[in-house]
Each structure stands twice: as C-alpha cells, then as structure tokens.
Amino acid sequence: MSLELIIFDLDGTIVDTCDDITKAINHCLRKHKISEFTRNEVKSLIGEGVRKFIEKVLEKRNLSRDFLFPLLDCFVSYYSEHIADHSKPYPGVIETLEKLNGIKKAIISNKLTELTVKTLEATRLKKYFDFIAGNDYFPEQKPSALPILKTMEYFQAMKERTIIVGDSNIDIEAGKAAGIKTIAVTYGYRQKELLRNADFMIDKFEDLLKLIKEIK
C-alpha cells in the first residue's frame, strides 16, 4: 500500500535549530543578569512550544513567574530576527525530500506557526511541504492526536497510508494516538531510550527512503 502523507516534526528532525535558540534565550537572560545555558541544556528543553520552553528555563534557574512574559516577549522578538543565523537542514534532508515525489508532505511543529514558516523559508525548505502548522494553528498541540487527524482530514489521507517522522517521544505519542506508524530519528534532541516506542528508528534522514519502501 503506497504512502499518501508524511508528517514531519521540524526542530531536531528536519532542521538543527538549537544554536539559534540557545543564542536567543541567552541574549534575553543576559539582559536580566541571569546565568546562561549551554547548547546541551537548551537541547533538552526544546519540543513543547515556546511558552513551555520559557517555563522550563524559569524552573531550571529557580526564577519567579514574574519573568515569564518579559523573557517570552524578548525571546520571540530576538529569535524571530535571528531565526537562521546558524540553523541548517540536517545532512541528507534536501536530497531525500527531493526524492519523495508523489507523496504529500506536511510539517506539524510545536513551534509557533510564524516561526515555523520563517525557519523553513530561511533554510530554503518551505517549497518541499504542502502544509505547515505550528502549535497555534490547531486548538491542541502534540502529543495530542488532533493536529495529525486534522492534517490527514485536510489531505483526505488514510491512517494506513500516513506516517509521522520526529525526534521525540512527543511525536511518537501523537502518532500512536492518531493510529499511524511512527518513525523516530536518533540524531535529534532526545535520547534514544525515549524513542523506544516508535515503530521504526533511523539514524540518518536519508534512511527514510529505504524504510518507506519496506513500509509499503
């Protein structure tokens, strides 16, 4: 059975955005004289949307909730202006997307939709996707199944002919809840043990091409 739709996560799956996110949050922390984060620390906080990201920053630094909106506003403003200073597609992404002709491709990210689109534009990937949605596009965000189900409905795609590719347990949970096959990439922002419930794992993005043939 041929695939009709592939749903991709963005950060940690398609594009390595960690350096720019780290730079943005540290810019804001410096303004408030708060100790900065390393890249590895930031990597562990990415994946549940910008507000949750800032909430985790507050928790890690034992900061008052009074800092939530100042840091949130600062982060979104700075990051939007520097969204791809260092961000770039993972190896094999462009070459693989170019070979996925005849299959609809969507991005469902927990990033804000505006920032998701800007990231894809800045990295010259937007043209490869037929549908793009961030965490403010639908009433619920991953790990809810709703974004996946609504995207499938948009394309009139069958569950049996849809897969999701992501780097975190959030993507896997969302895919399982929606009743579709899940593929975890091991090079992203989550440790491999958190991905063990995925139906499949790939170590390189280009391995997706071979795996799709097996799924068919």
How far is C-alpha 163 from the chain's CA centre? 15
Residues 6+ apart with CB under 8 A from 68: 51, 54, 55, 58
Interhelix angle 68-81/50-60, nearest 10 degrees? 120
Active site members: 9
Structural contact between residues 11 and 53, judged by C-beta atoms closer than 8 angstroms: no
The CA distance from 209 to 88, in Å, is 21
User: Closest by alpha carbon to 14, among 130, 95, 81?
Assistant: 95
Which stretches of the chain are assigned E, i.e. beta strand?
5-8, 15-16, 88-89, 104-108, 131-133, 162-166, 181-185, 200-202
Distance CA 87, CA 82 (A): 9
- Other Cβ atoms less than 10 A from the Cβ of 204: the count is 13
Q: Which residue is it, tokens 């804000």?
A: 112
